[in-house]
Amino acid sequence: MTTPAPIATVLLARPVPQAYDYLAGDADLAVGQVVRAPFGNSQALGVVTGFRDRPENPDVRLKAITEALTTPAVPNRTLDFVRWLAWYNQHPEGAVLKMALRGAEPAKRPRKTPIPEPNPDHPGRTLNPSQHSAAASLGQALDDHMFSTWLLDGVTGSGKTETYFAAIAHLLRRDPTAQVLVLTPEIALSGDVGARFADRFAAEPPLWHADIAEGRRKQIWQAVARNQARCVIGARSALFLPFQNLRLIIVDEEHDSSYKQEEGLTYHARDMAVARAHIEQAVCVLASATPSLESQWNAAASKYGHLRLGERAGGAQKPDLQLVDMRATPPDNGTFLAPPLRQAIAETLAKGEQSLLFLNRRGYAPLTLCRTCGHRLTAPGGENYLVEHKHTGRLVCHLTGFSMRKPKACPECGEETLVSVGPGVERIAEEAQETFPDARVEILSSDLSDTPKVVAARLKAMEAGEIDILVATQMAAKGHNFPNLTLVGVVDADLGLRGADLRAAERTFQVVNQVAGRAGRAEKPGRALIQTYDPDNTTMQTVIRQDREAFVRAELNERQALGLPPFGRLVAVVVSGKTLGQVEAAAETLARTAPQAAGFDLYGPAEPVHGRIRGVWRRRLLLRADLGKDVQGYLKAWRQSYRLPRSVTVQFDVDPQSFF
Ligand SMILES: [Zn+2]
């Protein structure tokens, strides 16, 4: 094989907008070949995207490609996906390619043990009729060999995983080269799904996420590119792997907000999974017990197939849900568990069953306040309150990771009168332990100090019945199976509703519903007590009735009236910099230069919830567009119409999930 033309275009894995010309030299090159090429004063990894006989710009003296790596080529469709994602989210193509090349360099020491082949004929669980019919629909879609998206919609415990495993088994049997990607919203859950996969298919699947060791990362990348890994389970970055024959993408817990990458290279992994499936002409399955409003809307509009799993697997019953009115039955001073919830925990302990107390707030207390002068402890250069972590004795900023030892005295007035205000999971665990001294109380939290290993061990202990009361953040709302768990207490259901966020109600509905769904998954009936100061709130009422249809109707009506997603599109624009005056002036410039066009509205500039992070000032604008408008075209025109000082950064976030 010889290189077809003297000049190769190479897209570098650097924040560059397009491919550059290089002399091909003596190397045998093909489109997709991973190469190293000079870039400025250094060397950069890149991919050959094409060839030409003459340089694009004859005045530039071209440099030669340094070397062609002995690594498999990146498939065309993977490159198409990289370009599409860059265009949609308005990122430089090279920055997106960088994601796709993580693990592309050949391993120094290649691993001897290959990635084991999953066995589709290893016996799985028998499916109930509704699971069987959903799996059959997916099987048919896979046989059709065309792009389609399906919402796999079933209450917690209805057997969504078994159902999509059946579809995977069908595909692996039919097509000896087919590859499957299962996305999960976080690492702990990848491990959980991975273990169930290993049981079902008698083979440990490769797990892909930010924390895997470099050698393993390279091994997985190469195996995927050589079609020697048939199924990968991973977090959102697994979307960029160089699959040869990707036929099926599963997005587990598709409603989960952690699918949205919010910093740097912003993208929504669920939506990008649908896009990748489209490019690959593959089948995409979005699975959830509480699907996002967008997905429910797409299913209702017949854009997505809708598969409902009716019954709970194994005959388990729905939990009994009750609101605890915190005004009528308040907790004792300085405590956070109201009498009805304490009573329920006592009863559960007496039966030898497990309780889960849910609070979506890490640490011990969200605020440290001086009783003498009223000073509130914040991170330097920010306005964010520091969260107390008692087991480490530190105050932590959850936004930036800044931490310091908790001082004895107030840094403002010097008095030793600092008090912890409000509860985090650590404080709830302390209260539970004081109230029930003989109970085994543990915390499950995506804490800075908790490694995935610790989290996995704690989940295992809970499953094995070695914990009586588990106090947990949102992590516990996801997928895990605890057969002896029969009581769920939601410590503060109002927390989500206080967020400055258009999805606050949706998120509260999802979290409460999912956490409550943890109770009574096996044969034992479960109950959930939900503490709220606002029991008449629409969201609370629909949660209690488990009336998703009513909730969705109310929420969609509201969004339609405002032209918000899914009835319109949003783009958040964040301007940031070290000097407040410059940031404000830049935000004004952006507002002034935004193109005037029918169907587009611009709001702001406004001060976001976090107006200053790590000493950097921030201002936000919000663009709203009618459906069917060319949002990317609008953004492109806008970006060419202003000039800003280099000290100011502008970030566009297409389809933002939150507005902090
Ligand atoms: Zn003070």
With cut-offs at 50, 70 and 90, classify the pLDDT of residue 447: low
- Residues 130-135: what's their mean pLDDT? 95
342 and 305 part of one domain: no
627, pLDDT greater than 80: yes
The CA 374 to ligand 1 mean position distance, Å, reads: 6
For residue 500, report the distance from its CA to the centre of ligand 1, in Å: 29
Query: How do residues 330-363 score in pLDDT, each as one tens digit?
Result: 999 889 999 999 999 999 999 999 999 988 788 8
Highest mean pLDDT among 306-315, 510-519, 556-565, 587-596 belongs to 587-596
Query: What's 582's domain CATH number?
Result: 3.30.70.600
Distance 411 CA to ligand 1 centre (A): 7
Q: Which of 54, 74, 94 is the last residue of a domain?
A: 74
Q: Does position 610 have pLDDT exceeding 80, yes or no?
A: no
Ligand 1 centroid – CA 616 distance (Å): 26
Do the domain assignments include residue 527? yes
Check residues 24 and 537 and name the one with the higher pLDDT: 24
72 or 506, which is more confident: 72
- What percent of the chain has pLDDT above 70? 92
| Band of pLDDT at residue 623, cut at 50, 70 and 90 | very high
Task: Give residues whose Cβ lies within 5 Å of ion ligand 1.
Answer: 370, 372-373, 375, 410, 412-413
**Residue where a domain stops, chosen among 281, 314, 347:** 314
Share of the chain above pLDDT 90, in %: 59
40 with 181, same domain: the answer is: no
Q: Which residue has the higher pLDDT, 319 or 358?
A: 358
Can you give the length of the chain in residues?
660
Distance 433 CA to ligand 1 centre (A): 31
**Ligand 1 centroid from CA 414, angstroms:** 6
Distance of CA 375 from the midpoint of ligand 1 (Å):
5
- Predicted confidence (pLDDT) at residue 477 exceeds the cutoff of 70: no
Residues 170 and 223 grouped into a single domain: yes
Under 8 Å between Cβ of 161 and 253: no
Higher pLDDT, 241 or 400: 241
Same domain, 38 and 185: no
Question: Do 213 and 277 belong to one domain?
Answer: yes
First to last CA, the chain: 53
Domain boundary among 556, 579, 613: 556
| DSSP state, residue 104 | -
Q: Whole-angstrom Cα distance, residue 517 to residue 510?
A: 10
From ligand 1's centre to the CA of 629, what distance in Å? Answer: 54
Looking at the structure of the chain, the number of domains it has is 4
Distance of CA 426 from the midpoint of ligand 1 (Å): 25
CA 419 to CA 252: how far, in whole Å?
A: 41
Rounded CA-CA distance 87/5 in Å is 28
Count of C-beta atoms within a 10 Å radius of residue 491? 25
527 Cα–ligand 1 center, Å: 44
Q: Cis bond leading into 605, ω under 30°?
A: yes
Token digits for 194? Answer: 């991975």
CA torsion angle 493 495 498 502 (round to 10):
-80
CA distance 565 to 625: 10
Predicted confidence band at 496 (pLDDT cuts at 50, 70, 90)? low
The single-letter code of the amino acid at 153 is D
How high does pLDDT run on average in the chain?
88
Does pLDDT of 401 surpass 80? no
260 bridge partner residues? 268
Residue at 221 is within a domain: yes
Q: State in Å: Cα 425 to ligand 1 middle.
A: 26
449 Cα: distance to centroid of ligand 1 (angstroms): 29
272 falls within a domain: yes
Is the same domain home to 331 and 297?
A: no
Q: 264: CA distance to ligand 1 center in Å?
A: 38
Measured in Å, residue 410 CA sits from the centre of ligand 1 at: 5
Note whether 614 and 649 are within 8 A (CB): no
The answer to which of 500-514, 527-541, 542-556, 576-590 has the lowest mean pLDDT is: 500-514
Q: How far is the CA of 385 from the centre of ligand 1 (A)?
A: 15
Pair (141, 20) in one structural domain:
no
Both tokens of residue 464? 């094995």
CATH number, residue 26: 3.40.1440.60
Distance (angstroms) between ligand 1 centre and the Cα of 384 equals 18
Judgement on whether residues 518 and 585 belong to the same structural domain of the protein: no
| 138-152, 197-211, 330-344, 447-461: segment of lowest average pLDDT | 447-461
User: CB within 8 A of 590, min separation 6: which ones?
Assistant: 573, 575, 605, 621, 638, 642, 644, 650
Q: How far is the CA of 412 from the centre of ligand 1 (A)?
A: 5
Examine the domain organization and report whether 174 and 56 are in the same domain.
Answer: no
CATH assignment of the domain containing 452? 3.40.50.300
Predicted pLDDT at 74: 97
Q: What's residue 479's pLDDT?
A: 56
Q: What is the CA radius of gyration of the chain?
A: 26
- Say if residues 198 and 165 touch (Cβ distance below 8 Å): no
Pairing assessment for the beta strands 7-12 and 231-234 based on DSSP bridges: unpaired
Tokens 């332990």 sit at which residue?
A: 433
- Residues 535-571: tens digit of each pLDDT: 888 778 887 887 888 888 888 887 888 788 889 999 9
DSSP H helical ranges for 351-495 = 425-435, 452-463
Look up the domain containing 625 and give its range: 568-654
C-alpha 409 to ligand 1 mean position (Å): 8
Q: What's the pLDDT at 313? A: 47
Residue 283 near residue 150, CB atoms below 8 Å: yes
Statement to judge: residues 539 and 586 lie in one domain:
no
Q: Is residue 516 part of a domain?
A: yes
Ligand 1 centroid distance, CA of 416 (Å): 8
Q: Give the Å distance between the CA of 423 and the centre of ligand 1.
A: 21
Residue 481 sits in the same domain as residue 340? yes
The tens digit of pLDDT for each residue in 201-214 reads 999 999 998 888 99
Q: From the CA of 270, how far away is ligand 1's center (Å)?
A: 47
Q: How far is the CA of 421 from the centre of ligand 1 (A)?
A: 15
Cα–Cα dist 469/485, whole Å? 9
CA of 337 to the centre of ligand 1 (A): 29
Give residue 362 CA to ligand 1 midpoint distance, Å: 25
Residue 551 lies in a domain: yes
Q: Which of 61-70, 378-387, 399-408 has the lowest mean pLDDT?
A: 378-387
Residue 511 lies in a domain: yes
Tell whether 481 and 593 lie within a shared domain. Answer: no
Examine residue 124 and state whether it is found in any structural domain, yes or no.
no
Q: Which pLDDT belongs to residue 552?
A: 85
Residue 104 is assigned to a structural domain of this protein: no
Would you place residue 502 in the very low, low, confident or very high pLDDT band (cuts 50, 70, 90)?
low
- 199 Cα–ligand 1 center, Å: 57
Q: How far does residue 381's CA lie from ligand 1's centre (Å)?
A: 19
Ligand 1 centroid to 379 CA: how many Å?
16
Please name the amino acid found at residue 221: W
**How remote is the CA of residue 376 from the centroid of ligand 1, in Å?**
8
Looking at residue 328, its amino acid is: A
Going by C-beta distance under 8 Å and a sequence separation of 6 or more, which residues neighbour residue 558?
A: none
